[in-house]
Amino acid sequence: MLQQKARGSRHENRFVLLFGWLFVLAGLICLVLGIRAAAESHRFRSVAQPSPAVILAIRDKSEDSLGTPVISYVVNGAARTGELHSVSGDMAAGMRLTVHFDPADPSDVRILSHEGLLPFGLLSMSAVYLFFGTLVIVVRGRSRRRVERLLAQGQRLEARIVSVEVDEGKLMDGRHPLIITCETVDARGRTRTFRSGSLWRRPDEIDRSRRVFVYVDIHNPANYFVDGESAVASG
């Protein structure tokens, strides 16, 4: 019975799970980079020495970039020229500010108040990626288990196909999935309508004269699974 799970659903599940795991991977990468950036920022703060500085120019400034500040600062009484790797919109040539440098590498010069921005940004991105990636994996896993339970334990009905629609709201591999609407009529003449999940088939592969299998939770009739593959034409 479990083998009757729709291939189209499995195809979509693999795509969604891949999407979720890619988000988790991106989150882990950002987490590692964020921890390394935080450790480096802490190391720099522990050894950095202050120096008065003046901005000589803003190099490569444009509408799309704030540019790179070129500064003059003092190390052991001698003037040095260097570049800042962080910039704010109010910076301009002639502006005076205080910078900090690493005594072991005086060319490593930074604005101390900007030091936490990179670790914070990376760790924030990590949290977002990990949250959404984990959410996708958990939700998709629950959905898969729900379908497996219905296939194994649900009441199987045979439904007549009412319509086959193209779901233009979804796109994967350059094509849109199908949604099958079907209905059953019970012994009292009451009609019930069901809608399938995404079925990754071409419209001409669906045999509208076939009966579609619907698996219904006998304890919760609103919980059901339409096996769209059962409507696929033979051969």
| pLDDT reported for residue 191 | 93
d(CA 111, CA 99): 5
List the one residue out of 130, 158, 142, 173 whose CA is nearest residue 227. Answer: 158
Half-sphere exposure of 33 (CA within 13 A, CB side): 16
- Spatial CB neighbours of 233, under 8 Å, sequence gap ≥ 6: 205, 206, 207, 210
User: pLDDT tens digits for 94-105?
Assistant: 999 999 999 999
Q: Is the pLDDT of residue 63 over 90?
A: no
Whole-number pLDDT of residue 8: 44
Averaged pLDDT of the chain: 89
Strand partners, 82: 71
What does the pLDDT look like over 136-177, one tens digit per residue?
A: 999 888 888 998 999 999 999 999 999 999 998 888 778 889
CATH number among 2.40.50, 2.30.42, 2.60.120, 1.10.287, domain 48-113: 2.40.50
Give the helix ranges, DSSP H, for the chain.
Answer: 7-47, 117-153
What pTM value is reported for the model?
Answer: 0.68
